[in-house]
Amino acid sequence: VSYLPAETKLFRTMKGSDCMEFFTSIHPRGDLKRAKQIAERLQLDCSRRVAFMSTGMRQKLAISCVLSCSSRVIILDEPTANLDPNVRQEILQFVTDANARGTTVVFCSHVLSEIEEICDRAAFLRRGKIVYSVALNDLPTIHRLRGNGTIESRSSPPGLKILRSADNVIELEIEGNLSPYMDWLSKENFQNLTIESVGLKQIYDRIHRNGDAPCENAPDPIAHALTNAGS
């Protein structure tokens, strides 16, 4: 396992090249040559001492060390923080390449667009617990419906979640094809009904607005990733 913490701690008196040599030497799958190649692509001057590096340069150095190791599992906590947009894109490409080689990557970030770009599954944490987990391939099949009216039926179709029904405002979430639900929706006589596809931003807003309780039946993507890590 290789791990990049959100706040990297490096030896300030060492040069960048010395740090790479040290960290790759203590990791059983460390690769100094690979670390130097990554640093070069990130345009990092490894001849500088860590004490004289900017925050972004230290981040590049730490990333070069972590991604150079052929680990079965890599855990990255906010890896693109403090980096320019073009460097961020390079990091995302490195992560994608590592995953293509069979490495399981646990990518922690508040930048939802990055998660949507490179991840297979996303998990949302609240107070240290996973409250929602979703496969990114399933996102296009989740729809959010908003409108005015009240729900008259005593029961709703399977796969339909009532997020809000109060003060003449209704908010629904449907997973899958909308066609089977159209008959039920027409009988409810909702007004000003709008439909939109759900992305990670909408899920994040709902979780932190409503304070959803942990979903006991939701799969734990972290455990899944570690259990199914490639060799």
The residue ranges of every structural domain in the chain are 2-119, 137-210
* 199-219 burial code (b ≥16 CB/10 A, e <16): bbebbbebeeeeeeeeeeeee
Domain at 137-210, CATH class: alpha beta
pLDDT in tens, the chain (231 residues): 999 998 888 999 999 999 999 999 999 999 999 999 999 999 999 999 999 999 999 999 999 999 999 899 999 999 998 888 889 999 999 999 999 999 999 999 989 889 989 999 999 988 888 888 888 887 767 888 899 988 887 777 888 888 888 888 988 988 777 888 888 888 887 888 888 877 888 888 878 776 544 444 355 555 555 555 554
Distance between CA atoms of 59 and 9, rounded to whole angstroms?
10
| Pick from 18, 100, 10, 110: nearest CA to 62 | 10
Structure tokens at 93: 């490409």
pTM: predicted TM-score of the whole model, two decimal places: 0.70
Q: Does domain 2-119 have CATH number 3.40.228.10?
A: no
For 30, 39, 60, 146, the CA distances from 33, given in Å and listed in that order, are 9, 10, 16, 55
